[in-house]
Structure 1
Amino acid sequence: MLDALTFLLRLRPALSAVALVAVALLAAAPVLTWTAPAEAQEEEARLLFERGNRHLTAGLRARGSRRTRELQQALDAYLQVMRLGARTRNVVFNLGITLQELERPEEAFNAFSEYLRGFELSPEDRAAGEQRLEALRPQVAVVRVESTPPGAEVRVDRRDLPPRGTTPLEIAVAPGTRRLILSREGYQEARAEATVAVGSRADVSATLEPAPVSVQFIAPGGGRLTLDDAEIVAGRAVEVTPGSHVVRLEVPGAPPVERRFEVAPGAPPMVLELSATAVAQGEGRAP
């Protein structure tokens, strides 16, 4: 395996706290330089990134147990960088290479998938990431998840696990039948199942329905109160689905008061007062 690799380690003088250390493991791979996170312990993250690069290069040149040990130390260093908040494109790319060399294809695929969808890339960098992703595809079971609306967090099998990303999303999973749990603020949770084998991809699409919003209707003068022609009790909160609605107040001896209002997905609780002037008040006022 190592005979097919071309190694290149470029070290440049440090001009600031930003490290200019690059590792390219294949002739076609991009030269990666450290990009410091905006809000992380930059110096510690830089040193860890450099340490990971040294172990990665040493591991790829070594054999047997030393190779495994060096690659594991590289993996540990890159994971520490991420724990410091420095989840940059170069860290993610080198993490993917390390996992691939450790023969952990599912995790490597997901690292390169994150690299391709999560960062602004040059055409050359994108091509390098896509090449590595496609090389791993025959070794993993892949699920592509889309949702309406997009931007839903995706969890696999269990709600208590961290999300694997947001839709649209392509991830490698354990082969078999997987339960996908999609969630987005302001929408009801959606679930789907996908059965997938190694070397294949299952496509899943789910629609998230807007979650109801609590709306309280106030009618100081009393009377008959209806919401979309269904009678409701004034003063009580009602769970209202997002969309357009009509509330109507009928008081004996007075013209009826009718109000059209909109409830947006994820809106805060609303208070709507109907009187002779149909004035809305309170948190989350209706228009």
Structure 2
Amino acid sequence: MSPLVLLGALLLLWPSMGRATDAASSSRFFDEQARAAFARGDRVAALDGFFLVERVSPSESSAYNIATVADAAGRRALAFAWYQTFLQRSPADVLRGREVSARLKKLAPALSLVTVTSAPPGAMVYVDRVEHGAFGQTPLTVAVKPGAHRLILRAEGHEETHRAVDVGARGQALNVDFKLAPVYGVVTLELVDAATGQPVVPPGTRVEVDVRGARERLLPGLPNRLPVGEWLMSFTAPGYAPTSAEPLSVTTGVTHQVSRKWEVRRLPEPTGRLLVRTGAHRGRLVLDGRERGVTPIAITLPLGRHKVLVLVRGQRPLEASVEVTAGRPLILDLEPQAAQAGGPP
């Protein structure tokens, strides 16, 4: 059977098989056809068959088979590209990786090569037209015909970048490095108190976003410019529970604007205990301007300084300033003194 007839038969079988069987069965069928073609020396048909395997079920095996058959058929540039695809898909296969690296080194002198690097790495590399498909991800060396070409790089969250290059004769290599510009969005973050449901920006608030390992400050209530992507936020503020690893999605769009609410929780206020005694007398305790009960009395208070006033009938007002701390209760003993004649009761 001629290569074109075999390929036509495979293409005719593809739609019906796709409906009747799963991808594994289809891949196995095309693989058997490709191996049979290769065994009888029909390398073109074998290459077509392995490309169909790749279409159904891309893998390091299909990449290696395409590269090997292309190499045997004298399709050096195609073999070079698919050997590199194999290396990217199977970095852990050390033994096969050495073999493939040796084949790449052997092919290089017969090809015009462009080594493409980018910051950040991992960008998809296209040559001349995106419709022709990507050669792989940076860092990557691609084999092209000598002459003028256009390199196109695409990476998620970054602007598409183009660059014209002039590739020399075979055996020559060109190095091209790209700095990819991030695509930015605008994020407005509103912090909401979990207890009250009201917007809040506590004094000392700090919100940070982890963007590819760098810490970006985010100001609540204001528009913030951030790269598009999936990031993690952290929040700290005195008196509030710190929070980290809160997901934030910055998306693309016409306005690139994202509005987001984030619920934050106030920590319980640290407190201490105060015990006020007035001997055998009973008096009304006024604490920081508020009447709190009758002595003797033990009361829980926020840490810090407080003003104490005790009113005992027929006695002078008793005043004190105390510092409440965590730990052991503070005991305040006040001794009432009789009021002077004609004074207030």
Alpha-carbon distance change, 95 to 270 in structure 1, aligned in 2, over 3 angstroms: same
SS at the partner of 1:186?
A: coil
What is the match of residue 50 of structure 1? 32
Query: CA contact under 8 A between 2:184 and 2:227: conserved in structure 1?
Result: no
| Matching residue's letter, 1:265 | V
For residue 54 of structure 1, report the CA deviation from its aligned partner. Answer: 2.6
Among candidates 32, 36, 47, match of residue 75 of structure 1: 47
Residues 215 and 262 of structure 1: CA distance in aligned 2, closer, same or farther (over 3 Å)? closer
Q: 1:71-110 maps to which residues of 2 (within 5 A)?
A: 71-85=43-57, 87-110=58-81
How far apart in 2 are the matches of 1:124 and 1:189?
36
Using a 3 Å threshold, how does the CA distance of structure 1 residues 131 and 148 change in structure 2: closer, same or farther? same
Taking structure 1 as the reference length, what is the TM-score of the superposition? 0.59
Of residues 90, 99, 102, the one that matches 1:128 is: 99
Secondary structure at the residue paired with 1:151? coil
- 1:263 alignment counterpart: 226
Aligned residue for 2:54, secondary structure, equals helix
Deviation sequence 1:86-145 (CA, Å, 0-9, x none): x22222212112112222111111111111122144322111111221121111111111
Q: Cα distance, 1:244 vs. partner?
A: 4.9
Structure 2 partner of 1:144: 115
More strand by share: 2
Confirm or deny: 8 A CA contact 1:143 1:194 kept in the other structure: no
Following TM superposition, by how much is the alpha carbon of 1:75 offset from its aligned partner in structure 2, in angstroms?
Answer: 1.1
Deviation at 1:271, TM superposition (A): 4.4
Aligned to 2:145: 174
How high is the sequence identity, in percent, across the aligned residues? 27
CA contact (8 A) 1:40 1:84 kept: no
1:227-269 C-alpha deviation (Å, 9 max, x unpaired): xxxxxxxxxxxxxxxx65768xxxxxxxxxx758462333224
| Distance of aligned partners of 1:211 and 1:79 in 2 relative to their CA distance in 1, 3 Å threshold | same
Contact 1:191–1:206 (CA<8 Å) still a contact in 2? Answer: no
Which of the residues 196, 210, 222 maps onto 2:182? 210
When residues 217 and 132 of structure 1 are mapped into structure 2, their CA distance, relative to the original with a 3 A threshold, is closer
**1:205-242 alpha-carbon deviations (Å, 9 max, x no partner):** 11111113145799xxxxxxxxxxxxxxxxxxxxxxxx
SS of structure 1 residue aligned to 2:134: coil
Paired residue total: 195
The runs of 5 or more residues in structure 1 that have no matched partner are 1-38, 60-69, 219-242, 248-257, 273-279
- Tell me if structure 2 keeps the 8 A contact 1:244–1:260: no
Partners of 2:50 and 2:157 in 1: CA distance: 35
